[in-house]
């Protein structure tokens, strides 16, 4: 490794950056797949829901159906990541993304007649969206773990945060794609054909992701888990140089006297924190803003083209503030960013609630949605994934991440599928609920979440082992020990 290839910590920055960029295509597809529905949901409602005389509730379930797949993918991620490896799990996710893109765009394929909506066609559309959701669930769990297990400790936060950047960039890309497809086109064409091209466009990045994955290595921690120490050392050497590689491999092996352990081997606190991080990330209501952004802006007085453009503006702001998180996560730490973000989200949502209650229509809606989403993107968006990728000990990481990610997608599904019904009841109440969840997320981080900045994965494992031992020791002699940063 030449000197100019090395980062300040002695690692091969070019090599790890290349691997990370390929892996984060999984994040881009995560964002692309979850946001593509924002441009197509109204056309799907007209074509499949209203055409069959079905209810708003069915529309909400259909728009959120991919989240069922996300839950399945999250649950399976632990088994797959531990069984076939991190890399092969991502290859499977890429294949599922590709199939879903083609099937969602043309759900009539083989079995149905185009232009003739039916319940069978509705089921098939939901099937393809669920297939894509399984891909999202896999990618959402495995990409952060993959990057986290390869990254040097002092830049791990930034590298894992790049996955969130990719998620938001994927959303921004698809906002532009949807806007480009719909801009200047007759509504009739969009409702008949345009929405199909929105879904089909995902096949391009999905195919690229699948091909590029064949050129990246498996993670050294997984290779060590399956007793491939030579291959693990080779990967570590390419990243860190030979001397540091041997030291890291020794640290990894010292924590892997067993290949796996029970989920609560390190106590219930670490698993509970992972689950609550995931649940709060969704209960603050971010995906309502992302899925239904054009409709929200239309309801506040913007025309269709203007609402799509405002959605693009929101996407640009999201990218900018995700970069803020990437630049600060390894300097300021995880916990301060989460707390600042919770405050900003609460301000944005309570302001939107007041605006809705008073019936104010204007630019203030866009301003406070941007305050809310910007606060999320600089905090809970990327930092939740950083913590989930690093907080769990090596021996339970696969299954613990699977539990946390499954909980996240279950919370996402609940929030997304009930949001339209809640808004029909009271928009002000809905935004107020998300604001309240933001306040509770602040209290949760303050009381329970430890700081992980700069710690190796093995150091974090020792931290949780000591906490578990201390809790056991004091279980019957006094109050339980609170987790501190």
Q: Each residue's pLDDT tens digit in the chain (485 positions)?
A: 444 445 555 678 889 989 999 999 999 998 898 778 877 877 888 878 777 777 777 777 787 788 889 889 988 888 898 889 999 999 999 999 999 999 988 888 877 777 777 888 889 999 999 999 999 989 988 998 899 888 887 787 788 888 878 887 888 888 888 888 888 788 888 888 888 999 999 999 999 999 999 999 999 888 988 888 899 889 889 888 888 888 888 877 776 655 556 777 677 888 899 999 999 999 998 877 665 555 565 555 555 555 556 666 777 777 888 888 878 777 888 889 999 999 999 999 999 889 888 877 667 777 888 889 889 988 888 888 888 878 888 777 778 888 888 888 888 878 877 777 787 788 888 889 999 999 999 999 998 888 877 777 777 777 777 776 665 555 555 555 455 54
Q: CA–CA separation, 46 vs 41, rounded Å?
A: 9
Q: Supply the pLDDT for residue 3.
A: 43
Report residue 142 as tokens.
Answer: 């495995």
The Cα diameter of the chain in Å comes to 72
- Classify residue 20 as left (phi > 0), alpha (psi -120 to 50) or beta: alpha
Q: Look at the block and give the residue holding tokens 């890291």.
A: 248
Measured at the alpha carbon of residue 95, what is the angle toward residues 166 and 150, in degrees to the nearest 5?
Answer: 50
Q: CA–CA separation, 428 vs 82, rounded Å?
A: 45
Q: CA–CA separation, 256 vs 26, rounded Å?
A: 28
Domains along the chain?
Answer: 13-216+255-472 (1.20.1250.20)
Distances (CA, A) of 441 to 71, 279, 357, 392: 22, 9, 24, 20
Nearest to 269 by CA among 394, 437, 391: 391
- DSSP H helices in 378-456: 380-390, 397-425, 427-448
- DSSP H helices in 359-396: 363-377, 380-390
Q: Supply the pLDDT for residue 102.
A: 94
Nearest to 391 by CA among 322, 340, 338, 318: 338
Residue 425: CB atoms within 10 A of its CB come to: 10
Q: Supply the pLDDT for residue 474.
A: 57
Q: Supply the pLDDT for residue 130.
A: 94
CA atoms within 13 A on the CB side of 140: 35
Q: Judging by beta carbons within 10 Å of its beta carbon (0-12, 13-18, 19+), is residue 473 exposed, middle or buried?
A: exposed
Q: What are the φ/ψ torsions at residue 335 (nearest 5 degrees)?
A: -65, -45
Residue 428 Cα to chain centre, angstroms = 27
CA atoms within 13 A on the CB side of 28: 21
Q: Supply the pLDDT for residue 103.
A: 92
Q: Supply the pLDDT for residue 297.
A: 59
Q: Supply the pLDDT for residue 218.
A: 93
Q: Supply the pLDDT for residue 260.
A: 56
Length of the chain: 485
């Amino acid at each position: 490794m030449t000197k100019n290839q090395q980062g300040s910590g002695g690692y091969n920055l070019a090599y790890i950056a290349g691997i990370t960029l390929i892996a984060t295509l999984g994040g881009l597809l995560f964002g692309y797949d979850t946001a593509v529905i924002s441009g197509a949901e109204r056309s799907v409602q007209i074509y499949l829901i209203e055409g069959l005389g079905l209810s708003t509730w069915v529309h909400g379930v259909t728009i959120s159906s991919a989240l069922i797949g996300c839950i399945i993918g999250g649950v399976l991620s632990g088994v797959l990541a531990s069984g076939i490896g991190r890399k092969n799990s991502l290859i499977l996710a890429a294949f599922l993304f590709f199939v879903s893109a083609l099937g969602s765009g043309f759900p009539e394929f083989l079995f149905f007649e185009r232009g003739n909506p039916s319940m069978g066609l509705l089921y098939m559309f939901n099937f393809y969206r669920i297939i894509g959701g399984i891909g999202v669930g896999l990618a959402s769990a495995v990409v952060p773990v993959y990057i986290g297990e390869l990254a040097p400790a002092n830049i791990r936060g930034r590298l894992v945060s790049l996955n969130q950047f990719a998620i938001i960039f994927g959303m921004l890309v698809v906002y532009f794609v949807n806007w480009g497809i719909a801009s200047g086109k007759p509504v009739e064409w969009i409702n008949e054909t345009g929405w199909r091209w929105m879904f089909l466009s995902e096949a391009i990045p999905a195919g690229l992701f699948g091909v590029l994955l064949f050129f990246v290595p498996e993670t050294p921690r997984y290779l060590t888990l399956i007793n491939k120490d030579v291959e693990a050392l080779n990967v570590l050497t390419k990243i860190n140089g030979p001397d540091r590689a041997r030291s890291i491999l020794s640290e990894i092996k010292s924590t892997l006297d067993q290949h796996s352990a029970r989920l609560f081997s390190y106590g219930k606190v670490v698993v509970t924190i992972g689950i609550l991080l995931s649940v709060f990330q969704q209960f603050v209501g971010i995906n309502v803003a992302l899925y239904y952004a054009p409709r929200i802006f239309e309801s506040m007085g913007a025309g269709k083209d203007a609402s799509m453009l405002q959605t693009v503006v929101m996407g640009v702001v999201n990218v900018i503030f995700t970069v803020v998180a990437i630049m600060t996560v390894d300097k300021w730490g995880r916990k301060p960013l989460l707390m600042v973000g919770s405050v900003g989200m609460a301000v944005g949502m309570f302001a939107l609630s007041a605006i809705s209650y008073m019936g104010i229509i204007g630019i203030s809606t866009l301003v406070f949605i941007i305050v809310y989403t910007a606060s999320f993107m600089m905090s809970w968006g990327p930092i939740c994934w950083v913590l989930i990728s690093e907080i769990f000990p090596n021996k339970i990481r696969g299954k613990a991440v699977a539990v946390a990610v499954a909980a996240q997608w279950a919370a996402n599904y609940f929030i997304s599928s009930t949001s339209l019904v809640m808004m029909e009841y009271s928009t002000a109440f809905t935004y107020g609920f998300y604001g309240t969840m933001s306040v509770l997320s602040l209290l949760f981080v303050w009381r329970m979440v430890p700081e992980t900045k700069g710690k190796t994965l093995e150091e974090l494992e020792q931290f949780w082992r000591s906490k578990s031992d201390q809790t056991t020791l004091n279980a019957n002699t006094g109050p339980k020990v609170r987790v501190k940063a």
